[in-house]
Amino acid sequence: MFNFMKKKTKPETPEQQAQRDSAVDKALLSYHVGDASIATMVTGLERNDHELTLDLRLPHSSDPEVIQQELGQLLRPHGIEVIHMNVRLPAPPKASSASLPKSSATSMPKTTDAMAGSTQSQAARSDAEPAITKAAPTQASLAAHPRIRHIIVVASGKGGVGKSTTTVNIALALQKLGHKVGVLDADIYGPSMPTMLGVADVKPELENDQFVPVEAHGLAMLSIGSLLDGDNTPVAWRGPKATGALMQLYNQTNWPQLDYLVIDMPPGTGDIQLTLAQRIPVTGAVIVTTPQHVALLDAQKGIEMFNKTNIPVLGVVENMALHTCSNCQHTEAIFGKGGGEMIAEQYHVPLLGQLPLASGIRAQVDKGEPSVLADDEFANYYINIAKNIETNIDKFAKPVDDKRIF
């Protein structure tokens, strides 16, 4: 997992991180279950600081408890203090009752019963693969952040629909309505908030092993882009490392008292979205789409994902709805008409607003002065969207434990 910092030590360099990851990989390669390395049985791996989560497909004769203990001893010198194992054991091979000796029941190898209390008929299924798993957290089980009243995620099913531009203007519009607002750039692979807010050269400070958000036009902003060496530095990380980075940005940041934390999500429905749904207490999601048919199809997938993870959808923003020619003032629906309204009706959520396709909106974020900040002709579009969010959000708010300290 990408370590931005280590408690009471200097943050690891990329070289140190690579050395630690390599040491863990070599240790897994050296550990054998039967005649095969356990590395060949790993179907998923996630490292989060000093914890390692392994998805394993083990031979039927193996003992998961013994393996977990031995791996713990093997990996502890490499900084791994806790190991979580999600294990799948294949069903025993079929055999006729006539070929089994009477003592077969007592001669079977011991296995960990992951389905304690299950009926004998369930255990007898020849195609069953009992799994040792831990239930993933749900939104209902997540406590609200003690200093953040509402967390809003702005998401899109596909890239290129103006999600980040919409995010930054919604955040500024909520601030203009009198709220204290923060922005978390969770678009790990394509962070753009620092540039859009004109603070691309500002690095966050560290205070008591916590990031201090960058102040950007009154917003408390943090982005992986603020931690990279340059604008052209690629973030070429696998899913577990990217999701770990997101959680560090959220958990290891000294957020001030906020009415809203607006999170700019990466496009799609991948690892980062699922991690957020399981670990961050989200008040609601805003879906950004264009009226184009293919964009609407992907937006539907996004809404379905939020529905399945019990995150309320606050509404839909239809971007690039109309274009007005700067020469002749002719208005045209370049990407189609009524798509946002249709998908809002389909899922019984509000249409929060419709935004024009205008070069002025693009020009302002490129300058680091979004439309709401510049108070240009497009600012009211975003302020009206913010008002619609403000009207509906309280019914989805999570209770805050004001006595919680961390």
Pair 225, 163 in one domain: yes
Pair 125, 158 in one domain: no
Domain-located, residue 277? yes
Q: What is the pLDDT along the chain (406 residues), one digit of tens a residue?
A: 455 554 444 566 666 777 777 788 788 878 888 878 887 888 878 877 778 888 888 887 788 888 888 888 888 888 888 888 888 766 555 544 444 444 444 434 443 444 344 444 444 444 554 554 556 677 878 888 999 999 999 999 878 899 999 999 999 999 999 999 999 998 888 888 999 999 988 989 988 888 999 999 999 999 988 887 666 666 666 767 778 888 888 988 999 999 999 999 988 877 888 888 888 999 999 999 999 888 888 889 889 999 988 999 999 999 998 887 778 878 888 788 888 899 999 999 999 999 999 999 999 999 999 999 999 999 999 999 999 999 888 777 666 554 444 4
Which helix (H) or strand (E) segment holds residue 28: the answer is helix 14-30
Domain-located, residue 9? no
Pair 167, 99 in one domain: no
Domain-located, residue 4? no
Domain-located, residue 6? no
Range of the domain at 361: 139-396
Pair 144, 124 in one domain: no
Pair 147, 263 in one domain: yes
Pair 149, 127 in one domain: no
Name 340's Cβ contacts closer than 8 Å, sequence gap at least 6. Answer: 289, 291, 316, 317, 318, 321, 351, 354
The structural domain count of the chain equals: 2
Q: Single out the residue of 266, 323, 313 nearest to residue 291, CA to CA.
A: 323
Domain-located, residue 402? no
Pair 201, 285 in one domain: yes
Q: For the chain, give the longest Cα–Cα distance.
A: 92
Q: What is the pTM of this model?
A: 0.65
Taking the alpha carbons at both ends of the chain, their separation in whole angstroms is: 23
Domain-located, residue 7? no
Q: What is the CATH number of the domain that holds 180?
A: 3.40.50.300
Q: How many residues does the chain have?
A: 406
* Domain end marker among 132, 154, 173: 132
Q: Tell me 245's DSSP state.
A: H
Long-range interactions of 340-343: CB distance < 8 A, separation 24+: 340/289, 340/291, 340/316, 342/296, 343/287, 343/289, 343/296, 343/299, 343/300, 343/303, 343/316
Pair 252, 284 in one domain: yes
Pair 59, 147 in one domain: no
* Domain end marker among 132, 161, 179: 132
Contact indicator for 281, 250 with CB cutoff of 8 Å:
no
Pair 143, 92 in one domain: no
